[in-house]
Chain A
């Protein structure tokens, strides 16, 4: 039975202070070592941003001996990019993978800042030669100037419950033989939204060229600001351009893409049930109505932004 290799990345008290140092130090054949590699990112990152580009290579993984990068405690975002100042943000932002190292790997609950200068957030992630998926879930990407997520030929990638804000191209498959599945994601602003990928339950709007472009067969239940959802998806709604009516905040530097009502009320469309793949949304809330996009609307939910209020016992 595989044993756990666990490392902690934190601004203080952890094993490493950057994700790159952690991934660099532990490169190995996890299958031969019979280990699965858990990387926990924790702590208060307010004054210690991670600004070193990450390269993920020279690992060998399989379905049980794989890499999982996850966030805990203060370092976890609140479903927005700016809501939790302590959250971990990878600012240098390219996670480059050019072999089977990332096959089966999972990255979750991370924030990625392209600073309007970095090209890609993830490049060539996923298994090769028909291999299994890498997974990116509940992540938020902002201000990337090229393909935010992209994969070369025959690579497989699953993207779920992610938000893309002002990214030039949110998710892009360089080859039609690539299988990138994009489920319940939201893309607002930039040049293109989702290109040559399989999209289900996605919202894409405010892109200068197209919200959806040449999607894969099977794409369905999508909403666009332009007419492209109608070109690419059987069930769709188009022309949804009243962004401030849909999302909590669309102001530059304060974006909050939680939806203000159910997607059926906002756009006249709910998504398809994907509970065979996942059951939550970007906040970890359980999905029931299967709203379009990364957020499942929860009636009456009060989101308390940090710093948290202090309650006095009187």
Chain B
């Protein structure tokens, strides 16, 4: 059994204007594109985990998934990595590959959805 710490609050850079984005350096733009999104799986812990005082709303939500083992759930911490045109090695394009929205785990790479039985 596993518990997911999910990002619930929007990122401070979500409100950046076009001008602010255009002023970012290449490195900063890359990090901006990778920033955490609402619903992203941030951390996976075993069932019954004693979360910290700030691992709760408004920043995070906790979803318990009793039907999934911790070992299986751990893969949902993966980053989104893709091989971009002209690159030999995978590039991290988002901080997380998976997000949980409305009881579904969504894979951002192939847009597949996995229905889960969860408890908030």
Which residues of A does B touch, CB under 8 Å? 7, 9-18, 20-21, 24-25, 27-29, 51-53, 55, 57-58, 96, 98-101, 128
Contacts and interface: CB of A to CB of B under 8 A. Distances in A.
A255 B101 CA distance: 46
B50 A12 contact: yes
With most chain A CB atoms within 10 A of its CB, the pick from B7, B55, B77, B79 is B55
A21 B54 CA distance: 9
Given A27-B11, A98-B27, A101-B31, A21 B77 contact: no
Contact of B55 (A17, A96, A128): A17
Those 4 A-B pairs whose CB atoms lie nearest each other, nearest first:
A99-B27, A57-B31, A16-B52, A15-B54
A10 B55 CA distance: 12
Interface residues of B, number: 32
Contacts of A58: 11, 13, 31-32, 35
Contacts of A57: 31, 34-35
Interface string B49-77: 11111110001100000000000001001
A99 B52 contact: no
A16 B13 CA distance: 22
Interface string B75-91: 00101000000000000
Contacts of B50: 11-12, 17
Given A14-B53, A17-B49, A52-B77, A24 B31 contact: no
Interface of B: 5, 7, 11-13, 25, 27-28, 30-32, 34-36, 42-45, 49-55, 59-60, 74, 77, 79, 92, 95
Given A24-B36, A99-B25, 11 more contacts: A15-B54, A17-B49, A18-B43, A21-B42, A21-B52, A25-B54, A55-B95, A58-B32, A58-B35, A99-B28, A128-B27
Nearest to B52: A16
B78 to A, nearest CB: 9
Nearest to B12: A28
- Interface of chain A: mostly helix, strand, loop or mixed: loop
A164 B25 CA distance: 34
Contacts of A24: 7, 36, 42, 95
Contact of A14 (B35, B49, B52): B52
A13 B52 CA distance: 6
Contacts of B74: 51
A11 B5 CA distance: 15
Contacts of A52: 42-44, 77
A18 B11 CA distance: 19
Contacts of A15: 52-55
B31 A99 contact: yes
Contacts of A99: 25, 27-28, 30-31
A139 B107 CA distance: 36
